[in-house]
Amino acid sequence: MYIASQKLMRDYDLKLLDKGYLIEDLIHIASLTLLRHVSQYERLCIVAGVGNNGADALALVDQCQNKHIDLFIVGDLNRASPGFLFYYEKVQKSPIKVTHYTPEMKDYLLNCIERCDLIIDGIFGTGLNRAPLSDVISVIRCLNAMHNKTVISIDIPSGLNCNTGIPFSECVQATKTITFVAMKDAFLFPHSKKYTGMVIIEDLGFPGIENEVGLYNLDTFVHISSLIRERDFFNHKGTQGRCAIFAGSQQYPGASLLCTHSCLVSGAGYTDLITVPEIKQFILTTSPEVLFHDRSEFNYDSLTKYQSILLGCGIGLNEEAEALCQHIILTSHQPLLIDADALTLLSRHMEWLKERQHNTILTPHLGEFKRLTHTMSDDVLSIAKDFAKMYNVVLVLKGPLTIVTDGVNSYRIKAGNKAMAVAGMGDVLSGIIASLLAQGYSCLDAARLGVFIHGYAGDYIAQEQYTVIPSHVIKTVPYIMKRILNNHPIPMERHIKGAIK
């Protein structure tokens, strides 16, 4: 399943136009897909705006000449799109009555709604970026007043933010939303269900355009199970990869313990922790399998023997930590995962990332990502994709349905839940991904697989627990990896599966 934001859908439309398709033909194709969903109804009340979403509605009217249709136009015709004007002219030549709505017509609209079998909402599409004007709000309130009527929204309920699922103000509450090409990012969030009702994705029949534009994919168990690899019969610790972890400080010892232990249980042959001496007693007690190194005495020339590096969890923000980050980022050649404090330090020196020429993964949460970009809009899909492409990194933007993108291939990961909102959870994720890097997975595959393993472990635990703590996730990781390897999903309670059906 593809996922798109407002900008990505605009890119999709522009790509088709660049290939020579006419907007009138694209609107006609959309109307044909809509026709299948209205064929069983005889009396329709259709409300159309003056943009291309309204044009879809008018093209549908043109397909339904044999039905009784009450058609309302809302909006300024002087600002109508070319596609709308093309189909508006066709409708005017038909016997169907066209009513240009004003707030004084409220009672007439309500009477038409009361008599109809189906309401079609074609006022606004995915391009809406502000609250509707008062006349549109009046229409939306009329549509929402009839709770016993079926309402179909074209592409997106009018008034809903395509990126967030939060209404700009008043918003149509549809029974069903027929959306084109891709699931809109807004629809993935549970709070949008009140407005979308059932969501049905209709393909417009242009295969390959989704990948050319770079729409996101939804990663589920089925997709992830093809990534994980069986261990070879002759594998030993030397062939399973060696990971160097620069983590921890006197103030934050726990972060180093969590990421190191999660790296270990995720399959790395050797896990080396390079940290402050105060942590030695803790790591030997909790994870005796880990190789400890005093950071102040570490020979950085020996980094060549490692297959991956993890940098940042709990290292602090002092000058020593800053110098460490600069050295590792600019001189290491292995795949490098940058997290936590290292991300904060990096945000002050983005030139380090531009100078680095080797495989890199960044794993910020939204707050850390804002510091890296120094800007943020609600279109996180586009911003994340553009950032990864600009800096030639794999970005793991942590949150509900975590984003993984290398700027070309982009994913939302269907795993994880709100019970995992506990300090230290990101340290565990970083350890898992770093372990997979050491084992030879590509940055993109390690990120996708690591995020899913982490989230799926949390989903499994959350079936029986109100809170999921990081150490419990670590204990569950090997079991989850085995289930994925055997392509054997764990039966989950319905509420754990999340908003996506």
Scan for tokens 């949008």, then name that residue: 192
What 8-state DSSP symbol labels residue 131? P
User: Is residue 163 pLDDT above 50, yes or no?
Assistant: yes
Residue 441 CA to residue 449 CA, distance in Å, equals: 9
User: If you average pLDDT over residues 164-181, what whole number do you get?
Assistant: 97
Neighbours of 288 (CB within 10 A): 8
Query: What b-and-e string marks burial along 71-90, b requiring 16 or more CB atoms within 10 Å of the CB?
Result: bbbbbeeeebbebbebbbee
The CA R_g of the chain, rounded to the nearest whole Å, is 27
DSSP string, 30-49: HHHHHHHHHTT-SEEEEEE-
What is the DSSP annotation of 290-348? SEEEEGGG--GGGGGG-SEEEE-TT--SSHHHHHHHHHHHHH--S-EEE-THHHHHHHT
Give start-end residues of each CATH 3.40.1190.20 domain in the chain.
221-488
pLDDT at 74 over 80: yes
Instruction: Provide the pLDDT for residue 261.
Output: 97
- Distance between CA atoms of residues 262 and 277, nearest Å: 21
Give the integer Cα–Cα distance in Å for 411 and 415: 12
| Mean model confidence pLDDT for the chain | 95
Q: How far is it, in rounded angstroms, from Cα 280 to Cα 256?
A: 11
Pairwise CA distance, residues 157 & 152, whole Å: 8
pLDDT at 500 over 50: no
CA distance linking residue 247 with residue 205, whole number of Å: 50
Query: Which position has the token pair 């949390």?
Result: 458
Q: Which of 187, 126, 151 is nearest to 1 (CA)?
A: 187
The predicted model gives 112-126 an average pLDDT of 97
Is the pLDDT reported for residue 498 higher than 60? no
Percentage, residues of the chain above pLDDT 70: 98
Q: Strand pairing partners for 270?
A: 242
In the CATH scheme, what architecture does the domain 2-214 have? 3-Layer(aba) Sandwich (3.40)
376 confidence band (pLDDT: 50, 70, 90):
confident
pLDDT at res. 108: 97
Measured in whole angstroms, the distance separating CA 352 from the mean position of its chain's CA atoms is 27
pLDDT, tens digit, 9 for 90 and up, residues 25-48 = 999 999 999 999 999 999 999 999
Taking residues 353-362, what's their average pLDDT?
A: 97
Residue with tokens 């790296």: 263
Average pLDDT for 477-486: 97
Residue 496, pLDDT > 60, answer no
Q: Are strands 403-405 and 394-397 parallel, antiparallel or unpaired?
A: antiparallel
With residues binned 3-state (H G I as helix, E B as strand, rest as coil), the percentages for the chain, rounded to 5, are 45, 15, 35
User: CA-CA distances (angstroms) from residue 189 to 183, 216, 242, 450, 463?
Assistant: 11, 16, 39, 22, 20
The predicted model gives 175-187 an average pLDDT of 98
Can you give the pLDDT at residue 267? 98
Q: Angle at CA 181, nearest 5°, toward 376 and 9?
A: 30
pLDDT in tens, 416-443: 999 999 999 999 999 999 999 999 999 9
The rounded distance, in Å, linking the Cα atoms of 253 and 296 is: 16
Architecture of domain 221-488: 3-Layer(aba) Sandwich (3.40)
493 confidence band (pLDDT: 50, 70, 90): low
Q: In the prediction, which pLDDT does 492 show?
A: 76
Instruction: Give the residue range(s) of CATH 3.40.50.10260 domains in the chain.
Output: 2-214
**With 0-12 CB in 10 A as exposed, 13-18 as middle and 19+ as buried, what is 108?**
middle
Q: Residue 464: phi, psi to the nearest 5?
A: -120, -5
pLDDT > 60? residue 501? no
Would you say residue 229 has pLDDT above 80? yes
**What does the alpha-carbon distance between residue 468 and residue 428 come to, in Å, rounded to a whole number?**
12
Q: What is the pLDDT of residues 280-325, one digit of tens each?
A: 999 989 999 999 999 999 999 999 999 999 999 999 999 999 999 9
Band the pLDDT of 497: cuts 50, 70, 90.
Answer: very low
**Distance, CA of 54 to CA of 52 (rounded, Å):** 5
pLDDT reported for residue 499? 34
- Phi (first) and psi of residue 242, to 5 degrees: -125, 130
